[in-house]
Structure 1
Amino acid sequence: MLEPTALLGAWTLRRVVEDRLAGERRDVVGRAVLDLAAPDRVRWSEEGTMTWAGRSVPVSRTLHVVRTGAGDTGWEVRFSDGRLFHPWSVGAEVDHPCAPDHYRGRVETEGDPVDRWTVTWTARGPQKDYTMVTVHTPA
């Protein structure tokens, strides 16, 4: 399994959100930086600009990918406040139940070393119905 440390560095981020509930598309262009915050902790920071329907707003978030201690390959993604988001499992579907909606995601990589990686999330439920695809390429 590919560890998050293989993605350290700066990446150009392009995100498309197809919001079926709102009937609109939102685009984000920005930058993601993954850096080693501690030996077993990768900080994943994103910032950019979201545009849709003639509007534009700045967006940002910080996640942390933390070694779980479950062997040498166990990692999980956590929100900036420490709450669990999902297991780090490149190439496999992961779930994030967030009542009343449910999120299903996947991280995929290309190249060795990685020269492109994609994060795809689908959210479904009474309050959300969208697919979000984020493509990262070297900055």
Structure 2
Amino acid sequence: MADLSVWMRAVWFWPRLYARGGERASVGAGAISSGALPPLAFQAIHPQDICKQMKGARMRDLVAFEGTWAMEREITDHSGGPDGRLTGRCVFAPEAGGLRLTETGVLEMAGLAPMQAERSYFWRAQGAEIAVDFADGRFFHTFDPRGEGAEAGHDCAPDRYDVTYDFSRWPEWTATWRVRGPRKDYTSLTRYTPV
């Protein structure tokens, strides 16, 4: 995937060459001779493999997150307290040096009236990784968005926050937080879908 032009030629020739079993052959109106393009252009590539490569390629930088996402969060309290559900929007808006993430929605918890909820973080590129800061600028955690998933953690004594990002169904993705501490014991699963 390093050379998009090679990938594009492979996709362009795939339907014709796949029918011939991936043999090298002259194709197209210009009768491009075998050897005129790199070998990759003459290999049969299955469309599912191309989709997997494109999913990974879109995750290579911070810009892939820019925009508006529908957000659904399920909060499971493991200490016997009420579970919750947050439904709303998450916007990644460009701001000097990165993206401002703003979540807004309605939080519903068993036995309580629905509440308006909002929070904000700042995401910035840190090499190939993404650094996440709290709204006030304090560092939160970093993760590598290039694969199908990533893990990170944050100590906020006496509590511990661990997150697992899942990008395997990009552009849909999830963030699962497991939070433990003397007064906290919950899991928060958030699903993000592009709007």
The aligned length equals: 133
How is 1:1-139 mapped onto 2 (pairs within 5 angstroms)? Answer: 2-38=60-96, 40-54=97-111, 55-68=113-126, 71=127, 73-90=128-145, 91-111=149-169, 114-139=170-195
Q: Which runs of 5+ in 2 are unaligned?
A: 1-58
What is the root-mean-square deviation in Å for CA atoms of aligned residues? 1.5
Change (3 A) 1:81 1:49: same
- Residues 61 and 125, structure 2, Cα contact 8 Å, conserved in 1: no
* Letter paired with 1:30: G
> For each residue in 1:92-113, what CA deviation from the matched residue of structure 2 results, as whole angstroms up to 9, or x when unmatched?
21011011110110222144xx
**TM norm structure 1:** 0.88
Aligned to 2:83, the other structure's residue is in SS state: strand
**TM norm structure 2:** 0.64
Q: Which runs of 4+ in 1 moved over 6 A?
A: none
- In the TM superposition, residue 7 of structure 1 has moved relative to its aligned partner by 1.3
**Structure richer in strand, relative to its length:** 1
Higher relative contact order at CA 8 Å, sep ≥6: structure 1 or structure 2?
Answer: 1
- Residues 106 and 120, structure 1, Cα contact 8 Å, conserved in 2: yes
- Residues 101 and 126, structure 1, Cα contact 8 Å, conserved in 2: yes
> For each residue in 1:51-82, what CA deviation from the matched residue of structure 2 results, as whole angstroms up to 9, or x when unmatched?
012421011011111223xx3x1320001100
**Distance (whole Å) between structure 2 residues aligned to residue 106 and residue 89 of structure 1:** 11
**Distance (whole Å) between structure 2 residues aligned to residue 125 and residue 13 of structure 1:** 26
**Distance (whole Å) between structure 2 residues aligned to residue 5 and residue 110 of structure 1:** 18
- In the TM superposition, residue 133 of structure 1 has moved relative to its aligned partner by 0.3
* Letter paired with 2:185: D
Q: Which moved further from structure 2: 25-34 or 4-13?
A: 4-13
Q: Which runs of 5+ in 1 are unaligned?
A: none
